[in-house]
Structure 1
């Protein structure tokens, strides 16, 4: 982790940077603005990011939107790398809301341990029930014979988030594989961001190597909250240029933080904005080798459903979004403790008022009345 270089000269907004600003720098694609994208480049971009059927399709719904107009709601989900025999869990859930004029964006995170009502899901025979929201993908992913389909699981998660927020449908969705995420950051040349509190890594040593398991936790049957031992990678308050492994490690930490997962959510949102800043300042598309590395990493780490529209369609539609007009939102919540045992998280009642402001297109008014909902970048 090294000190950042001097500020870079501002440049025109490339098309992949527009996507970066919304999708957390995952859909970094092609040069735009005053540069006309050729059919060859466009095909390369669309071919790099595999489409997926992520969003629930209601009977009678159109197969493709005629165009992309606000207001828009996008669901982003981060998962650990898993094979098709392991049920997926959504470790990070972020909703991006874009008002009707499509000039700004609001990002809010849903706590992974939030206790919610998960709707029934006919494809897996799940009858519905109350559980932590990160289990929704698992309940929706089974395809039989011990196999799991992540995009199918996303569909049930989307229904669950819709039930929670009252957002009837999502206009786009993406699944981000954390392992590939690290490669994207490295393909960009790292990312500069500000660390706002002392963070110690639960998982990695100072050199980035995995921390060994403590003797009492080496038995896989043991139930250890903190199974690792030895020196820890430490992130001190300040501004740094993070490599891919550092970025991924930092945004995943919650143990030892004052507000646990709520602080982690803030760090993830801050990093998304930092990546957007980096995307606007880096001219990746002029370097064919670097652009190729970014596209390859994106293709391996992302599944995207644009509701019938391609990543390039979305890039042009979101051309006015900039890091400066991205507002990071924190939802107020609390831990649920029953008989001394942690059960999960619950949101305060004011969160329902925030969700209503999204549906009513009154977010600005709500935030003026509730400035405590705004996370510092």
Structure 2
């Protein structure tokens, strides 16, 4: 969805023929795999009505021969009918869930980001993660994407950085860099370092989720401000970098059809949603558990009532 969002910003105002031409040109740069478990797939090949996509962020592209077993970012992207807004529902990485059995794993209770690891990472790991989420939420997905956030570092740099507003000073546990409060321009390495932080933040992982949502919006804003359509060489670099950072499962829908269906979706129509939940220590292990089953969030997504749920639960919603 972020790749589609960037493409929409870059292609905004182009005629249909222009979108088709460019989507054909960059189609080959995107890796395609079956990322969804059969039981987690909607089976729809049309783009009518509301859409639900699974977005998984890793530190390494799927198919790498080296370990890439962490899925530190898990988002359900819900696009209501009408295509005028999108909701980014962040799933807490430590959420306690029931992971179904798979090859070499008998199933059981664990943190949700362990599902990706139990499945072996990459394509198989995303399939197990999608099956876990589908059982938890009752949702079936219209597509999925693996995002290599290390690869997105290059995209951010090509866009000239992103503007991020830091509300609480934090020191990186990875680089020891200090991020002072206030709005500031960050390059790719700084932005990705910042949105990985959760320790010493008032909201812990909830703040990390919000910062990741804000980064997605900031990248769309930078793409719109760069006016890359007047710089064909830079446009080519950015689109190839975006494509090279994505592994997608479009459920059989051509990429150009997805672009055309979502072309009216404005960047300022994005909302960040956090799952109603709270931290809890069980047997000396720190987890996140659902608050009252998620306080009706997943039911609202299934029944296409998420906009109404968001209005009734402003504590868990952020306009990005």
Q: TM-score, normalised by structure 1?
A: 0.77
Larger Rg: 1
In 2, Cα distance between equivalents of 1:48 and 1:310: 14
Q: Which residue number corresponds to residue 98 of structure 2?
A: 117
Tell me the C-alpha RMSD between the 2 structures.
2.5
Matched, 1:369 2:297: no
Aligned-partner SS, 1:197: coil
Structure 2 gap ranges (5+): none
* Higher share of residues assigned helix: 2
Structure 1 gap ranges (5+): 1-18, 142-148, 205-231
Q: Which residue number corresponds to residue 144 of structure 1?
A: none
Q: CA deviation at 1:102?
A: 2.0
Matched residue count: 317
Aligned-partner SS, 1:48: coil
In 1, Cα distance between equivalents of 2:71 and 2:40: 27
1:336 corresponds to which of 256, 280, 284: 280
In 1, Cα distance between equivalents of 2:26 and 2:158: 16
Q: TM-score, normalised by structure 2?
A: 0.90
In 2, Cα distance between equivalents of 1:90 and 1:291: 29
Change (3 A) 1:70 1:276: farther
Contact map agreement 1:29 1:295 (CA 8 A) in 2: no
Q: Which residue number corresponds to residue 122 of structure 2?
A: 150
Q: Which residue number corresponds to residue 270 of structure 1?
A: 214
In 2, Cα distance between equivalents of 1:350 and 1:290: 46
Contact map agreement 2:20 2:256 (CA 8 A) in 1: no
Matched, 1:68 2:47: yes
1:44-55 equivalences in 2 (<5 Å) = 44-55=25-36
Q: CA deviation at 1:296?
A: 2.8
1:253-290 Cα shifts (integer Å, max 9, x gaps): 11111121111001111111122222222222332221
Matched, 1:356 2:299: yes
1:78-227 equivalences in 2 (<5 Å) = 78-81=57-60, 83-86=64-67, 88-121=69-102, 124-141=103-120, 150-167=122-139, 169-204=140-175
Change (3 A) 1:351 1:256: same
Contact map agreement 1:28 1:294 (CA 8 A) in 2: no
Change (3 A) 1:179 1:28: farther
Q: CA deviation at 1:43?
A: 2.1
Change (3 A) 1:58 1:245: same
Contact map agreement 1:28 1:298 (CA 8 A) in 2: no
